[in-house]
Structure 1
Amino acid sequence: MTDLQGRKDELTANLARVEERIAAACAAAGRKREDVTLIVVTKTYPASDVRILSGLGVRHVAENRDQDAAPKAAECADLPLTWHFVGQLQTNKVRSVVGYADLVQSVDRARLVTALSKEAVRAERELGCLIQVALDADEDGRGERGGVGVGGVEELAARVAEAPGLRLDGLMTVAPLTGDYAGRQQAAFERLMDLSTALRAAHPAANMVSAGMSSDLEQAVAAGATHVRVGTAVLGVRPRLG
């Protein structure tokens, strides 16, 4: 019981620090705090941490590996949480992911759209989808960390919008480690905002922009992100995966 209380105290303090950072970034950008949603990335951490975070008011959590996420989501099914899948998704994992995820933020190819649509219809669910944009890719290529190149966003978004069982919610990116935007996170996120503006001209409801993590959430908020994905700053340095 003491260990659990200690972990709760640790997460409470970490979450408060992250909240302060988001609030300060919003104030600096002239934005309202409620305009930015915190998604806590709980990958590699146990369901007990998710339960503590839910008790502290967290409503959005993210996972990137189905084999870890599926049992965790099942264990936490009684909690008022929205589950985001943020990892590169293989089509053979789609049925499982559709069983618990409310949004898939890593849609990056037509074949994945087809698979998600099929399983969403089968499960009688509406699944939110974000197009993952690879700002380090060739115009129509794929990025080092997943995602579709800028030139492929419009076509892929149209596929999602037309697919039964799927809802086009917006765009996601991870700050590139290489290429023109390496070390220029805010410029990368501003580019994503430009793409979001273009997307909303054709799909007005697709207004979600997921960008920024523990190290660069301030730049994402400054650029206009609606959602930030924070793991380490809330949960601590991740244990090594075996």
Structure 2
Amino acid sequence: MDHASSAAAAGIEARRRELAANLDKVRRRIAAACAAAGRDPEQITLIAVTKTFPASDVRLLAGLGVAHVGENRDQEAAPKAAQCADLPLTWHFVGQLQTNKARSVARYADVVHSVDRSRLVSALSAGALRAGRTLRCLVQVSLEEHAEGRGGAAPERVPELAAQIASAEGLELGGVMAVAPLGADPAPAFERLAQVAAELRAEHPAATIISAGMSGDLEQAIACGATHLRIGTALLGGRNAIVR
């Protein structure tokens, strides 16, 4: 092995150790939060949000036992998913989604967390049918009055959107997703989301997913019933990496 190859291998191993340590810390936080809430950690799905990080990190995380990966921009997610197509991963699209990107996302995403309008339901349905796939979709719920640029449907619109997803060809209603309001205690918002989720399950018993909680507020999310956590920084570090 030449010097360059040796240095590259050492770099990969150092990154693997870093990710393993971060993953252990996150899993310990999840276990502690579940213990405090009287919940089973097996009820929690950890989604590694790998935006701005390379496919090599996805491979390392998969080797460490991570089975769920999240991305929030199609132009980054599509090639990354293709590069990792040989891995047994579930891909989650967690960012705001433009209608004109729905066909592309439908080719690789297994779960779309950010469905917040009727036109997007129609576009994802058409994309799923074209790709011959079934997409699980979550209704993104807005939990703040003025959330410009953050997406999400008002809570009162959730039943209508959920019904549209449930009846759309190629789509399956999975549950709800939300992002906690910026700069505020996330607990009241997550409690409201749990309420919306319970009302949804009364009509659609199989829609059991509550996607809530990120690196800074996963404990509050677990306390309020979250089933899926979207963890980026706590796993991968600060977002100053260059995708390559």
CA shift, 1:124, in A, is 1.2
Q: Which of 162, 165, 172 is the equivalent residue of 2:170? A: 165
Query: Is the 8 Å Cα contact of residues 23 and 33 (structure 1) preserved in structure 2?
Result: yes
1:174 aligns with 2:182: no
Query: Is the 8 Å Cα contact of residues 103 and 127 (structure 2) preserved in structure 1?
Result: yes
Q: Give me the whole-angstrom Cα distance separating, in 2, the residues matched to 1:200 and 1:166.
A: 17
CA shift, 1:184, in A, is 1.9
Q: Which residue of 2 aligns with 1:52?
A: 60
Q: Which residue of 1 aligns with 2:5?
A: none
Residue correspondence of structure 1 range 3-22 to structure 2 within 5 A: 3-22=11-30
Q: Which residue of 2 aligns with 1:183?
A: 184
Counterpart amino acid of residue 38 in structure 2? G
CA shift, 1:143, in A, is 5.2
Q: Which residue of 1 aligns with 2:205?
A: 204
1:119 aligns with 2:127: yes
SS in 1 for 2:65: coil
1:85 aligns with 2:86: no
Q: Which of 148, 157, 170 is the equivalent residue of 1:152? A: 157
Note the alpha carbon deviations across 1:169-203, whole angstroms, 9 max, x for none.
Answer: 000000012xxxx5120111111000000000100
Q: Which residue of 1 aligns with 2:6?
A: none
Normalization by structure 1: what TM-score?
Answer: 0.94
Q: Give me the whole-angstrom Cα distance separating, in 1, the residues matched to 2:129 and 2:145.
A: 32
Segments of 4+ moved more than 6 angstroms: none
Normalization by structure 2: what TM-score?
Answer: 0.94
Q: Which residue of 1 aligns with 2:4?
A: none
Query: Is the 8 Å Cα contact of residues 142 and 154 (structure 2) preserved in structure 1?
Result: yes
Counterpart amino acid of residue 188 in structure 2? A
CA shift, 1:92, in A, is 1.1
Q: Give me the whole-angstrom Cα distance separating, in 2, the residues matched to 1:17 and 1:33.
A: 14
Counterpart amino acid of residue 28 in structure 2? E
1:99 aligns with 2:107: yes
Counterpart amino acid of residue 6 in structure 1? A
Counterpart amino acid of residue 176 in structure 1? P
Q: Which residue of 2 aligns with 1:220?
A: 221
SS in 2 for 1:51: helix
Q: How many residues align?
A: 235
Query: Is the 8 Å Cα contact of residues 53 and 241 (structure 2) preserved in structure 1?
Result: no
